[in-house]
Amino acid sequence: MVNLSQQALDRTFAALVDPTRRAILTRLESEESLSVSELARPFAIKLPAVMKHLDVLGEAGLIARSKSGRTVAVRLTPAPMRAAMEWLRRYERFWSVRLDRLGAFAEAQERKARKSQRRKPRP
């Protein structure tokens, strides 16, 4: 089980390495589904290259393809990204700790400012 989930993580992260593949996922995020040619349109690369990227995304389980007649519809199946995000979430405390420290610093500064205000002699 552990190895299977490790392999799934390998595939997910490998699929996310390429900026074109990330751009494909980003486009699919806002659309119910897109045809392969619609997906390929904004990219400078040729259709076969786009198809190869779709294969990688498909093998990682990040997209699903369905054929109707001549058109292949592509839609996002984002579930595997959840495990990738959970993996990264373990490191979130490093940013949050810094934010906590910043917050504590800001509060201390405010307390100081208030104290010095109180100390000022009234005119």
List the x/- string, 27-46, binding to a copy of itself by CB under 8 A. Answer: --x-----------------
Tell whether residue 58 is a contact of a copy of itself (CB under 8 A). no
Measured from the CB atom, the residue of 61 and 111 that comes closer to a copy of itself is 61
Q: Which helix (H) or strand (E) holds 70?
A: none
Q: Pick the closest to residue 8 from 63, 53, 61, 52 (CA basis).
A: 61
CA 105/CA 111 separation, integer angstroms:
10
Count of CB atoms within 10 A of residue 57's CB?
25
CA 72/CA 35 separation, integer angstroms:
5
Tell whether residue 100 is a contact of a copy of itself (CB under 8 A). no
Measured from the CB atom, the residue of 5 and 71 that comes closer to a copy of itself is 5
List 67, 89, 115, 120, residue binding a copy of itself (CB under 8 A): 89
**What sign has the CA pseudo-torsion 90, 94, 95, 101?**
positive
List contacts with a copy of itself (CB under 8 A).
6, 9-10, 13-14, 16-19, 22, 25-26, 29, 76, 78-79, 81-82, 84-85, 87-92, 94-95
